[in-house]
Amino acid sequence: MKKRTRTFIILLIVVLAVVLIATLLSDNGSNEITYSELIEKINAGEVSDIQISGDYLVKIRFKNSGIAEKYFPNKYDAFCYIPDRNAQQIYDAISSNEESPGVIGWTAPRISYDNPARRSMLFSLALPFVSILLLGIVMYIIYRQSQGQNQQAMNFGKTKARVTQTVKVRFSDVAGAEEEKEELQEIVEFLKNPKKFLDIGARIPKGVLLVGPPGTGKTLFAKAVAGEANVPFFSISGSDFVEMFVGVGASRVRDLFDQAKHNMPCIVFIDEIDAVGRQRGTGLGGGHDEREQTLNQLLVQMDGFEKNDGIIVMAATNRADILDPALLRPGRFDRQIYVQVPDVRGREEIFKVHARNKPLASDVDFKTLARLTSGFTGADIENLLNEAAILTARDNRKVITMGDINEGINKVIAGPQKKSRVVSERDKRITAYHESGHAIVAKLLPNCDEVNEVSIIPRGMAAGYTITRPENDDNHVTRGKLMDEIAMMLAGRVAEEIVIKDITTGASNDIQRASSIARKMVTEWGMSPLGTIYLGNPEHEVFLGRDFNQQGMSPETAAKVDAEMKSILDECYETARKIISDHRELLDNMVKVLFAKETIFQHEVDMLLEGKSPEEIIRLSNEEEKKKSASKESAGPVPAATAKGDAQSSIEQIKNIHEQLKEKIEQIEKKTPSENAVDKKTDAPADESQESKDEAHSAEDDKKE
């Protein structure tokens, strides 16, 4: 569309230019007068110029003419024809007026002559050349347009890869995966100094496949390798190869590697390679399609007849199970690096990386945050810190606090709070008993995770929520822990049944999650009387091809699986029922606190278990909140130094923290012994000193680095 508009504009300019030239070349006036009128105007002194063309044509310019003679010397106001081709009368009229002018101040007009025969001959000679020139311009424009269309048609086979000559990402920007860094560091050495390995007969890896859940940093790892090696980086998605035209995908693969050959050494990164690298022959009917042609060409380019020793192909996917086996053999993707969800130490490092450019308050503790975010990926941590920063900016504050980050965590898990939603007292009461049931069973069963937060404020799709945090990142989960988790999930439904003598739809998600765990216990993990047998769904059923007729289990076995699932769920349901029935008073007290506070945390749940009354817990909680707000206003925010290389600034901040601690200690010493006893329960100077020690250690580590 843009090319057509451009062509139209060019043609319009050419036409206007021709018209303008013709106008400038034309010398006739627009008005015709009679010969007698001409003589009258000469006698009246109104004529300034006369041009006699041949024997019969006269062109006239008047003294009051609006024509700029300077710019249009050949333009005239009027013209007339000479009768009998005799111009002598014109000369006679001019001569008579010169001798005895009829008008005072009369001046004779200037007379010039023109040979129309010569001018017409020149015009006739120039016209063919001008016509040929204009025709050539038009033909050239049409040719360029058609050539552009042809080029566009041929560009279907060109690669859509984005080339970055200098990548700024380094390994220091990637945290929480030290083992993966070590594996990829060898690739960097291969690219920087290949002779070191070739001299001892080592072969440079052809490809590296990064496998892991979404958000673990696979793409970031690929960029970091290119940045550390300082080599060009070709990035493309797997879906960019496949088009509706036959052969386009294979052509793009060839063009991609042709470009990479001219930039060796380099890295070719294919994101989401499962879009083009799925197993061949898995379509309904087995068939040969465009995707398989593209995959075949990729296999040939990676390890075919041509050598691409300076090209390392890196790819990322979270579906390695569906990739073609030929793609995973040695010589193609020599290495498979599994990028796992970070552990607690990895999450702490990721927090430090993403908090470099964010002003943090002194109460932000990365170790605590790492424990609270079990199962979070790097993308999740970056997102929650961003949500915390947005919340801080929304409140017109300059420093991100621990409370902001906790709210960011909850927002990522369950969605935003909906405090404005109108909730009836009945629904609020049901939600309070439901969430209290979850919390009490989680606290009293030995294998459940620690209760971190309980709320009856709607968040996301939930009317309320109970958040538990694991103490450790366990790789192995026991049957006892799974049973306790199912009992905790069903405890909300149990509390509804016991208190309101009815059940609601609020336990839908709980039942779904509990049933999913129970099914996996029976069919995948061998935790039932059916024994150690895998009864899960076929892995390749999604393709509707090769395994289309494969059956997962017989109807008799399916009935046994359902019976075992029900047995597990019933056992856990009765466990939750017994705990809530035995601790009905604790359930009612927690509901009272929830009605007053709407959201309670771990220390408040612990106080309930210790036997404190709801009134006392509410009073202590309010006093603690007042002291926190007062301390924030008096002390002010102290940014936490988290970035690498900020050792000097962190030392200065530590000094400020120590000065604040000294002031607090002096204030405490001035108080009475009774006041000191109360402050010891509420304040935690030891924790703050420990925090300052941790920051000092981090500063020393930064210096060492």
13 phi/psi in degrees, rounded to 5: -65, -40
Of the spans 370-379, 485-494, 528-537, which averages the highest pLDDT? 485-494
pLDDT of amino acid 688: 39
Instruction: Order the strands of the 47-53 sheet from edge to edge.
Output: 31-32, 78-81, 57-62, 47-53, 110-114
2: left (phi over 0), alpha (psi -120 to 50) or beta: alpha
pLDDT of amino acid 544: 43
- Please state the rounded mean pLDDT for residues 317-342: 87
SS3 content of the chain, % helix, strand, coil (to 5): 55, 10, 30
The answer on pLDDT for 580 being more than 90 is yes
Q: What is the pLDDT of residues 361-386, one digit of tens each?
A: 888 888 888 888 888 888 889 999 99
Residue 516's Cα: distance from chain center in Å?
A: 32
Taking Cα atoms as reference points, which of 88, 27, 18 lies closest to residue 60? 27
HEC secondary structure over 273-290: HHHCCECCCCCCCCCCCH
Distance from C-alpha of 631 to C-alpha of 51, rounded to nearest angstrom: 101
pLDDT of amino acid 157: 55
- Please state the rounded mean pLDDT for residues 473-487: 90
Residue found under tokens 């002010």: 636
Record the tokens describing residue 652, joined without a space. Answer: 């200065």
pLDDT of amino acid 83: 78
Pinpoint the alpha helices (H) of 500-551.
508-523
pLDDT of amino acid 121: 57
| Active site (catalytic) residues | 435
Record the tokens describing residue 407, joined without a space. Answer: 């709210």
Residue 259 identity (one-letter amino acid)? Q
- End-to-end CA separation in angstroms for the chain: 57
pLDDT of amino acid 305: 60
Q: What is the pLDDT of residues 43-87, one digit of tens each?
A: 888 888 888 777 677 788 888 776 656 566 667 778 887 777 677
| More confident position, 248 or 485 | 485
Record the tokens describing residue 40, joined without a space. Answer: 């009258």
pLDDT of amino acid 14: 67
Q: What is the pLDDT of residues 104-122, one digit of tens each?
A: 777 788 887 776 655 555 5
Calculate the average pLDDT of the chain: 77
Contacts 24+ apart (CB under 8 A), 684-688: 685/661, 688/362, 688/657, 688/661
- State how far the alpha carbon of 5 is from the alpha carbons of 1, 9, 11, 134, 512, in Å: 6, 6, 10, 19, 59
